[in-house]
Amino acid sequence: MMKKRINIWTNVLFVGFLCFVSIFNLFGKNKTFSDNENRFLQQFPTLSLKSIQKGEFSLKFELWVQDQFVFRDTWIMVNTAMNMAMGKIENNNVYFGKDGYLIGRFFYDEYKKVDSNIESINNFKYPAYVMLIPSSAEVNKDKLPNFAYNSNQKVLEDYIVSKLQSQHTPISISDALSNCQDCFYRTDHHWNLKGANVAYTSFIKALGDQPIEYLFKEVSTNFKGTMLSKSGVFWNEPDHLQSVELLENLDVKVTIGEQEYDSLFFKNRLNEKDQYAYYLDGNHPIVNIENRNNPDGNHLLVIKDSFAHALVPMLVPHFHKITMIDLRYYKNSVSEYIQTENINDIIVMYNMDNFVTDGNLIFLK
């Protein structure tokens, strides 16, 4: 009898708690965006007979309760901390690494997408440099927790290079990055300027040019990246973001859509969650950069993912023009663009994570 009463009171308290949370969420001020999770939150759904019949209201209502749950971030951190205390080594495919590193898991189990992307590059009729960027899981192996498992990216890189046609020139930076300390952010999947500088040096030398010795300066101490958002380790120390001193006052014209800018760095982005967009304003279908200080230089085409954003500014002094094309958003003919714009040099630059999953290289034609 006593046990039955306890169960009844437990259920009453639980239902009461849910009612309190729902009332608090309903009359409290709802949050629109979660900085820690880097996503928009569900708002209270519109109530209608149609939405009820289709089940849309109940589904969105449940998501609303979850997203607007009182002290949501605190509950997420408590849950993450408990999982870590119980020996869990990852959350949402993000490893809890040593020294505060949050490292995305790298895993692939079939070559279908890889072979398709290799074929797309081989079918591209213009000679190009090909740079495959290893992820933090490969570069920071020493930071991974015990028993962490990732696919071998060096083996994958060797496979890809072996399949490339001779008209394309691979540039391997795996060994150089592996010998580079602190070249990736701890809370984000991208490399920092130190890592990007390793790739810059390798590419410029491949072109037969002399790399510039750049100096970096700090512009932010509060960068919280994608790995922090996915992992739930919201208490992690944020990263520092840097700029390149020599490039801050370069005479450039950066064209994005119909807008023109006079800087490679977008300071307004430092006030947002995605501070990595400080470099060339983040992801766009096509970005054109004109360096007025080098009118006789070549025109470089960079077919890329977001890892290029930290690297491309360093390349600007070596060229008159640089065009960045992101095939995730750019659906016009790349070949036609090359013909009309008199491109001299081409580099296909992809992070290994994207190369094994991204299907947009089929638009490289």
Give average pLDDT by consecutive 10-residue segment, the chain, 365 residues.
51 50 56 57 64 65 57 66 84 95 92 94 96 97 95 96 97 94 96 98 97 97 93 90 94 97 97 95 97 96 98 98 97 93 96 94 90
Dmax over Cα atoms in the chain, in whole Å? Answer: 91
- E-only strand ranges, the chain: 33-34, 39-40, 90-91, 94-96, 102-104, 129-133, 169-172, 216-223, 239-244, 252-256, 259-261, 286-291, 299-304, 321-325, 345-351
Looking at residue 332, what DSSP letter applies? Answer: S
Q: Are 131 and 171 in contact (CB under 8 A)?
A: yes
| CA–CA separation, 204 and 292 (whole Å) | 20
| CA–CA separation, 270 and 359 (whole Å) | 31
What's the confidence (pLDDT) of residue 134?
Answer: 97
What's the confidence (pLDDT) of residue 121?
Answer: 97
What's the confidence (pLDDT) of residue 65?
Answer: 55
How far is residue 171 CA from its own chain's centroid? 21
Q: How far apart are the first and last CA of the chain?
A: 75
| CA–CA separation, 352 and 160 (whole Å) | 11
How far is residue 269 CA from its own chain's centroid? 15
What's the confidence (pLDDT) of residue 81?
Answer: 74
| CA–CA separation, 246 and 174 (whole Å) | 27
Tell the burial category of 95 from Cβ atoms under 10 Å away from its Cβ (0-12, 13-18, 19+): buried
pTM of the shown model? 0.82
| CA–CA separation, 254 and 222 (whole Å) | 26
| CA–CA separation, 265 and 125 (whole Å) | 33
Tell the burial category of 194 from Cβ atoms under 10 Å away from its Cβ (0-12, 13-18, 19+): middle
Q: At what angle do helices 153-163 and 112-122 cross, to 10 degrees?
A: 40
